[in-house]
Amino acid sequence: MLGSLASCTPVVRYTDELVDSRFGRSLFTRLPATIGATAGFAIGLPFDVLALPVSVPVYVTQPSETRDPLSVFLFPSFVLWKAGALLGTPFDLVELALWRSWHAPAPRTQEEWEAIEREWDAKEYTEYPVTPIWPAPIAPTTTDNPGSAPR
């Protein structure tokens, strides 16, 4: 069950790319996706209110360090927002077939690379501790006398 929930991540990323000009989509694609996302979010608001009797206990039972009120209380709006953004998918396919597939993306300038590096440096990854895997830890060897081989 949980493995199937992880499959939503590419869809969420794709809908974010449909409405953001940084990913090379033109207004031809971004406008329908943005209109669909806005309409989906607005349609989801009444469902957010109706879901409050379920949302409040879910929110209270989550650990305080990981609970996010927006993702719990606005879950129906979030889902309909992302589903509405998919309205831009046919336009994206047309744009891909007629324009983006035939043109190479513009090379990034030095300023853009520096901005990307600053953005990555500013992010804090405190939620998942990092365990170094390189260099590999040295396994302790136990020997009874210095001249014998390790066990």
d(CA 121, CA 131): 18
pLDDT tens per residue across span 14-72: 999 999 988 888 999 999 999 999 999 999 999 999 999 999 998 999 888 888 888 88
pLDDT tens per residue across span 84-129: 999 999 999 999 999 887 877 778 889 988 888 888 777 766 555 6
Tally the residues of the chain.
151
Segment holding 84, helix H or strand E: helix 75-85
pTM: 0.63
d(CA 27, CA 38): 16
- Please enumerate in sequence order all residues whose Cβ is within 8 A of that of 98, keeping only pairs 6 or more positions apart, or say none: none
Domain chopping of the chain, boundaries: 8-102
